[in-house]
Chain A
């Protein structure tokens, strides 16, 4: 089951993953701070992550539960052989809310760039899901164990720990 965490500003103390849709982060700098923290945590724990934009995190989480993530592809003339893994994601961190789609997509692209610099960012141009249809737009980050080599898929069990729930101190 995919667990959803809504990141919110908890008073003046810091950032907390225990928010909800109403008090979600709307400041880009804070969202980026959360993203960097989670991405670093994932990199330290050999976890993969993926950034996305959606209009409804709950329905998106349900959709992602049944979706496939490509872990290997081989092109042979007119054929493409791809290996997918089912249910690789364990957590969905909703980082940011905006009513501007262009801004949400710009943020997503920026986060993908940051994520690729930190760890195993699984964003690619093969995503078949475009779930952002109407405002508000939520920028989210999925975390889970996605094997880089499909031969080791069977050996890896998709049991992961959640990122720290202690919150991220505001700098």
Chain B
């Protein structure tokens, strides 16, 4: 899984790759956009660019204390946040095999950040497919977690998806089956004929 951190520069928003197992630095956390409009633009860009490739599934959530191991998949899960208190370690895992994870917003007020994450979900759900786009977008909340300390980060996880509410059907009845068998038999005969002609070489 690729993990990206969006950075706010004076003139633009830039996507940076998070190095796996590298601890989060204060600069890294401070450079995540803290302006909501910037995060909205990043989110729109992500949805648009992903949707062009096909059906996508996105999950938006809030976390704090991001883990250095974020992006490393173990048993179908990736570690999202890790907090150590004495001898106990609290870890939040993101379940499922996601293709990419983007940190798009950082804020200091837990309630405000969660409200913003909900607003992003609503924004994504209201998005209408552009003309000619045959996409299905499934956007939802990743779940609520414990966010004990600031900064609170909004993340977006993406993966390609099929719409679970649509039963997909591919016609393959008796006619198709017999045609397929004939084609296979013809293919076998053709291979045997070719082998005879080449003398088995």
Does A83 belong to the interface (CB within 8 Å)?
Answer: yes
Q: In the complex the two chains form, is A83's CB within 8 Å of B88's CB? A: yes
Contact of B87 among A77, A82, A86 (CB under 8 A): A86
Q: Give complex CA distance A33, B146 in Å.
A: 45
Judge if A41 is at the interface, Cβ distance under 8 Å.
no
Within residues 64 to 117 of chain A, which ones have a CB less than 8 A from any CB in chain B?
68, 71, 75-87
Q: Give the nearest-CB partner of B89 in chain A.
A: A84
Interface size on A, residues (CB 8 A): 21
How many residues of chain B are within 8 Å of chain A by beta carbon? 26
**Interface: B90 (CB within 8 A):** yes
Interface presence of B74 (CB below 8 A): yes
Report yes or no: A85 in contact with B95, Cβ–Cβ below 8 A.
no
Q: Does B145 contact A (CB under 8 A)?
A: yes
Choose, from B44-52, B136-144, B174-182, the stretch at the interface. B136-144
Query: For chain B, what secondary structure do more than half of its interface residues adopt (helix, strand, loop), or is it mixed?
Result: strand
Closest Cβ–Cβ distance, residue B114 to chain A (whole Å): 13
| Inter-chain contacts of B141 with A (CB < 8 A) | 77
Whose C-beta in chain B lies nearest to the C-beta of A77?
Answer: B143
A128-B74, A128-B75 as given contacts; A82 in contact with B90, CB under 8 Å: yes
A80 with B88: in contact, given A128-B74, A128-B75 (CB under 8 Å)? no
Q: In the bound complex, how far is the Cα of B88 from the Cα of A71, in angstroms?
A: 9
Q: Does B92 contact A (CB under 8 A)?
A: yes
Contact status B90-A83, CB under 8 Å: yes
Query: Does B77 sit within 8 A of A, measured CB to CB?
Result: yes
> Do residues B90 and A78 form an inter-chain contact, with CB atoms below 8 A?
no
Is there a chain A Cβ closer than 8 Å to B91's Cβ? yes
Expressed in whole angstroms, the minimum distance between the Cβ of A90 and any Cβ of chain B is 13
Contact A80 B75, beta carbon cutoff 8 Å: no
B 87-109 binary contact with A (CB < 8 Å = 1; else 0): 11111111110000000000000
In the complex, are the beta carbons of B92 and A81 less than 8 A apart? yes
Assembly CA distance A85 to B87 (angstroms): 6
Contacting pair B89 A77 (CB below 8 A): no
Question: CB-CB < 8 A to A81: which residues of B?
Answer: 90-93, 145-146
For the complex, what is the distance from the CA of A86 to the CA of B88, rounded to whole Å? 6
Taking the complex as formed, is A19 at the interface, i.e. its CB lies under 8 A from any CB of chain B? Answer: no
- Tell me the chain A residues, 101-154 only, with Cβ under 8 Å from chain B: 126, 128, 150, 153-154
Decide: B144 and A76 in contact? CB cutoff 8 A.
yes
Q: How far is the CB of A126 from chain B (nearest CB, A)?
A: 8
Cβ contact within 8 Å between B87 and A87: yes
In the bound complex, residues from chain B placing their C-beta under 8 Å from that of A82 are 90-93
Taking CB atoms, residues of chain A closer than 8 Å to B92 are 79-82
Give the A-binding residues of B (Cβ under 8 A). Answer: 59, 61, 74-75, 77, 80, 85-96, 140-146, 157
For this complex, 26 residue pairs linking A to B, each with C-beta atoms less than 8 Å apart, are A75-B95, A76-B143, A76-B145, A77-B140, A77-B141, A78-B94, A78-B95, A78-B143, A78-B157, A79-B93, A79-B143, A79-B144, A80-B93, A81-B92, A82-B90, A82-B92, A82-B93, A83-B90, A84-B88, A84-B91, A85-B88, A126-B75, A150-B88, A153-B86, A153-B88, A158-B87
Where the two chains meet, the residues of A that have a C-beta atom closer than 8 Å to any C-beta of B are 68, 71, 75-87, 126, 128, 150, 153-154, 158
Other than the given A80-B77, A81-B145, A84-B91, 17 more pairs (CB < 8 A) read A77-B140, A77-B143, A78-B94, A79-B92, A79-B93, A79-B143, A79-B144, A81-B90, A81-B91, A81-B92, A81-B146, A83-B89, A84-B89, A84-B90, A85-B87, A154-B86, A154-B88
